[in-house]
Amino acid sequence: MDPAPVSVSSSSDAAPAGPAQTGAVAGILVAVSLGHFINDTIQSLVPAIYPILKDGFRLDFGQIGIITLVWQLTASIFQPLVGIATDRRPQSYSLVAAMALTSVGVLMLARAGSYGAILAAVALVGLGSAVFHPESARVARLASGGRHGFAQSIFQVGGNAGSAVGPLLAAFIVLPYGQGAIGWFAALSMAGLVLLAGVGRWYAAHRRKPAAAAAPRASGVDPRQVTIAIAVLCLLVFSKYFTYAAISNYFTFYLIERFGLSVGEAQVRLFLFLAATAVGTLVGGPIGDRIGRRTVIWFSILGVLPFTIGLPYMGPVGAVVCALATGVILASAFPAIVVYAQELLPGRVGMVNGLFFGLAFGMGGLGGALLGEMADVTGLTVMFQAAGFLPAIGLLAWFLPDLKGARRS
């Protein structure tokens, strides 16, 4: 492996310091978070416009499923591959390329006149996301000033906000004006392209600094333990995103069916849940910086268990309270998981980012599909009762090594 990844990874542990640099680094964090907001806003448009595509092209649910498969496969499978490639040869302007791919995909989707053109368009949108996440998360780490959890939280909350806003924009812009209105979102992605060009200039200048030549600090963990720990983290991501998929996809239907709420009332409660996940994402990273990421991972996965188990047995207010508590606590896990994995594998930040962001995206889609099939067979209440035990997988966090202790030894 050439020395390029060493320079980037080492600098990820030592972002520029000093009063003169603080504002610039904070600006970069805000910029990549805004870029994440734009990326995930556009990504969330894809499922939001399924009704338009289904009616306009007379698609069946199987064809809608193929659209989802193509979009999610390109967005999830390619992420670790992009991460591995950029570990070996970092690309300062890859974020610009990512937003350009997304822009082309959006314009193609607006003008698509056939099913094949739709598949090609969503593949480009997914590929843009696959290129965006590994390097943008690396830039957030570079700009962290050593507060890696805090930087991950700022970066990820932009994505949370975009995922929540996208369907609203689709409802107010695309649904009334039709498929062609999707093209208006290319203006948003082009604004992101300009924003990320500035990030690319900072990234290129930062990589050229002589201070970035030091080797990354080893985790101090036995390679076999590292393999086990990464496998455990992947299982925790599975638990987190299947639990998240249960609420984000089916909580509105549950409230309507079980308590007789209107669609509008149920959607308000879903937005409250999405807001709670944004709060959890924002606080999870800084808390991990203070008390340790392993502790946050323990609490954030296992801590939701009483709420997820209790949710289907509560009344309308109690169910919402359980959902909000689940959103806050569960969302605090992901920044800690990503940074913990980065510390387990120093020098392979891009691969780690691609693996876990891709896995999160894939597990969310898979969880939504499988839990939906289960709800069709057993009913929503039984599905929520079964899904409530998924966070018990968090017991596997026992096998995560103490990285601080490993370094001291």
State which amino acid sits at residue 323.
A
Per-residue pLDDT of the chain (409 residues; tens, 9 = 90+): 333 333 333 343 344 444 344 444 888 999 999 999 999 899 888 877 877 888 889 877 668 778 877 887 888 788 888 888 887 887 778 899 999 999 999 999 999 999 999 999 999 999 998 899 888 878 888 888 878 878 888 888 888 888 878 878 887 888 788 889 999 999 999 999 999 999 989 988 876 655 444 445 555 677 888 888 889 998 888 888 889 888 887 888 889 889 998 877 887 888 888 888 888 888 888 888 788 888 888 888 788 999 999 999 999 999 999 999 999 998 888 888 888 888 888 877 777 877 887 777 777 777 777 888 888 888 889 999 999 999 998 888 888 887 764 444 4
Cα R_g (the chain), whole angstroms = 21
Decide: pTM greater than 0.75.
Answer: no
Is 218 within a domain?
no
Q: Are residues 123 and 199 in the same domain?
A: yes
What distance in Å separates the CA atoms of residue 212 and residue 209, rounded to the nearest whole number? 6
Which residue in 32, 138, 121 sits closest to 82, CA to CA? 138
State how far Cα 281 lies from the chain centre. Answer: 10
Q: Residue 205 belongs to what domain range?
A: 4-213
Show Cβ contacts of residue 115 under 8 Å, excluding neighbours closer than 6 positions: 57, 59, 63
Q: Which two tokens stand for residue 71?
A: 């979009």
Is 187 within a domain?
yes
Q: Are residues 356 and 229 in the same domain?
A: yes
- Domain CATH number, residue 185: 1.20.1250.20
Residue where a domain terminates, one of 213, 241, 261: 213
Q: Are residues 180 and 257 in the same domain?
A: no
Which residue in 210, 203, 184 sits closest to 103, CA to CA? 184
Is 252 within a domain?
yes
Alpha carbon distances (Å) from 194 to 37, 50, 94, 180, 322 = 14, 29, 13, 24, 41
Q: Are residues 121 and 237 in the same domain?
A: no
What distance in Å separates the CA atoms of residue 225 and residue 211, rounded to the nearest whole number? 31
Q: Is residue 13 classed as helix, strand or coil in its secondary structure? A: coil
Residue 316's pLDDT is 93
Q: How many helices (H) and strands (E) does the chain have?
A: 18, 0
- Alpha helix stretches (DSSP H) within 292-315: 293-302, 305-310
Instruction: Note whether 198 and 51 are within 8 A (CB).
Output: no
Number of domains in the chain: 2
Q: Are residues 237 and 173 in the same domain?
A: no
34 membership: H or E segment, kind and range: helix 19-48
Q: What share of the chain is helix, strand, coil (3-state, %, to 5)?
A: 85, 0, 15
Which residue in 274, 278, 287 sits closest to 323, CA to CA? 274
Q: Are residues 117 and 259 in the same domain?
A: no
Dump the DSSP string for 195-241. HHHHHHHHHHHHHT-GGGGSPPPP----HHHHHHHHHHHHHHHHHHH
